Amino acid sequence: MNRTLILCVTALSFGGLSVAGEPTAPPSNFRRPNVVFILADDLGWRDLGVYGSTYHETPNIDRLATRGLRFTQAYAANPLCSPTRASILTGLYPARIGITAPVCHLPEEILEKGLTAPQRHVRVQVANSLTRLKPDYITLAEVLRDAGYVTAHFGKWHLGHSGPYEPKDQGFQFDFPHTPQVPGPGGGYLAPWKFIKDPAIQGTPGEHIEDRMSAEAVQFIRNNKHRPFYLNYWCFSVHSPWSAKPELVEYFRQKADPNSPQRNPVYAAMVKSLDDAVGRIVAAIDECGLADQTVIIFFSDNGGFAYPPRREGSRDVETQPPGYADIPATSNLPLRSGKASIYEGGTRVPLIVVWPGHTQPGTVTESLFSSVDFFPTILDMCGINHSGYHVDGISQVAAFEGKGSPRREVFCHFPHGSENQARNIPGFLPSAYLREGDWKLIRFFAANPDGSDRFELYNLAEDIGETYNLADKYPKRVEALRAKLEKYLQDTDAVIPRLNPNYRGDTASQDPLLGWKARGCQAELREGKLHLTATAASPFLGYSLGRQPGPLQVAFQLRVLRADGSVQGKLSGKVEWLPPSGERPAPIPYETDPTGLRTVVVQVPWMQPIGIVRIYLPEGCRETEVDWIELVSQDQKKRFDF
């Protein structure tokens, strides 16, 4: 599931705040501040010049730091995007909400917490994340709207769609470009934008989506400069697909140092377009005379993508200069790992706060901050009493004013990932952590051979890269932090991954396709689903039955993830069987569509022995996902749960 956030709030001096952060009654001449919240996706801790990058160019965001306060120890509540977004809007931990993975674009409505089904090849059962932010929760936008703010959302939402889960259902009066989709190949961020379904939003060929969105946001600021507004600007950048303006890619390709950990020209160009968009918004605030009325907070929804882009032909690779596919998108060093990881690179992110009259220009703080803190903090800054709302966050007004943070602990629950995924992304395992002061304890669920939990302990003040596990050296500290972490898990009613009682052991890991062979496509297991990417014409899955007598029923559950741009409406596939006799009977067609999960049942009317059965993927389909396959004959049934 990841991005970066900028929160702008304007405030005149509005009386005192108590030490605990509860606002006193504002004076009669108090004008509520404007709030501009800009969130970019997957921007890493070291991706900005002010945070140490010498390759990326971010002059506009860097200038925010000269106007306000920069945090060095701020955390997203989750190493993937949707959970952190939910935590920002509600002030609640993702573990409590149940959105723990970036799956809110999927068609299925999953609204209850639980574990995934115990599929035989999966060693640990992980959480089945909710796919919608329930309307039961009071959002920051709803509170501000009810307090008289004009509210608008620009950009990526990824918290649900098809009402009552859209921005307009969660407190936002305006929504642009109003799309539940995430960008995909065939243009990516450059127009024409295939992920935007509104025909009125066309864009000139090659126009960057951040250019268009920031222009729309600027117009909103100008139209509403005489009344308090909340502008939620959640960028599509710098999440994949890896696409950027060609002239910027060329510029950064020439600038790249082959010995630097940050040297990916496409990603650097994407960061530059993000920075340009921020510059337009901040300039509009200044031009409208709103600078003294606006607080700006810049944040990221999770850590940077510190791994090479996926292989050619996958949905994430859009532009590939020579050798690009082998260059990590970014580097979070000295932090360990990145997006989707429980290590620091997954959740420690940039945070800049500009609050005129309260934050001191050009200052830096090591105070702890969590994304759940935005809800109470912003309401305090706006003079709105939040004591009636149950939140996990803590008001950070004191930290913003240089008086120290009230936060002493940081909690994160990430009940996803697997040993196979952790081979490519260190720390992408079912886990949770608690940071207390400089100490961080990580609990890896069911990670030991006997199914018990494994613990890692780090002192971040001495070992920011999490290279020395001190769990064996300090068992009493492990036990004390473990007990506190357990209280967080219990309080939030967190879904706890567990050892799968149906796990088949090594045979499953030796053959994750369970005997099926992928031809004309690449096959990969992801979260208990068989993910197939077409690499040639007529891709199929084949299985040898030996000499099993017919007739045969072939059933499978399939989801079309991505079809060719020319494909519309129904998609046609076929099931073929090859008898040992060498005959070639006519295949049987089946139909599906790209709107969601479909169960397909095909009857093979063959009374003689069947040697091989083939399931051809729908024509024109580049990516599909198969949940299970079932073969039923007269005397037996074979079930394949991927």
Domain boundary among 347, 374, 402: 402
253, part of any domain: yes
Q: Which two tokens stand for residue 581?
A: 């006799």
Give the pLDDT of residue 107: 80
* Residue 390 and residue 538 in one domain: no
Q: Token match 């796919």: residue?
A: 131
506, part of any domain: no
Q: What average pLDDT score do residues 535-551 get?
A: 85
Crossing angle between the packed helical segments 265-287 and 246-255, to the nearest 10 degrees? 120
* Residue 386 and residue 534 in one domain: no
pLDDT in tens, 432-457: 999 999 999 999 999 998 899 999 99
Confidence label for 463 from pLDDT (cuts 50, 70 and 90): very high
587, part of any domain: yes
pLDDT in tens, 152-166: 999 999 999 887 999
* Residue 21 and residue 166 in one domain: yes
* Residue 394 and residue 524 in one domain: no
pLDDT in tens, 565-621: 555 568 889 999 988 777 888 999 998 877 777 889 999 988 888 888 999 999 888
* Residue 159 and residue 276 in one domain: yes
Q: Which two tokens stand for residue 636?
A: 């037996």
* Residue 379 and residue 525 in one domain: no
- Of the candidate ranges 50-59, 525-534, 583-592, the one whose mean pLDDT is the lowest: 525-534
**Sheet of strand 454-459, all strands in order from the earlier edge strand to the far edge:** 409-414, 431-436, 439-444, 454-459
Give the pLDDT of residue 510: 59
How many other CB atoms are found less than 10 A from the CB of residue 282?
23
Query: Helix or strand or coil: residue 388?
Result: coil
Domain boundary among 402, 418, 453: 402
220, part of any domain: yes
* Residue 212 and residue 360 in one domain: yes
CATH number at residue 594: 2.60.120.260
**Rounded to whole angstroms, how far apart are CA atoms 417 and 439?**
24
* Short-list 497, 488, 303, CA closest to 411: 488
User: Which range of residues forms the domain containing residue 545?
Assistant: 511-641
* Residue 516 and residue 376 in one domain: no
Query: Are 310 and 316 in contact, with CB atoms under 8 Å apart?
Result: yes
583, part of any domain: yes
Q: Is the pLDDT score of 24 beyond 70?
A: no
* Residue 394 and residue 263 in one domain: yes
Give the pLDDT of residue 567: 58
Domain boundary among 350, 379, 402: 402
Please state whether the predicted TM-score (pTM) of the whole model is above 0.85.
no
CATH number at residue 80: 3.40.720.10
**Rounded to whole angstroms, how far apart are CA atoms 270 and 420?**
30
Q: Is the pLDDT score of 80 beyond 70?
A: yes
Crossing angle between the packed helical segments 265-287 and 59-67, to the nearest 10 degrees? 50
632, part of any domain: yes
Number of separate domains in the chain: 2
90, part of any domain: yes
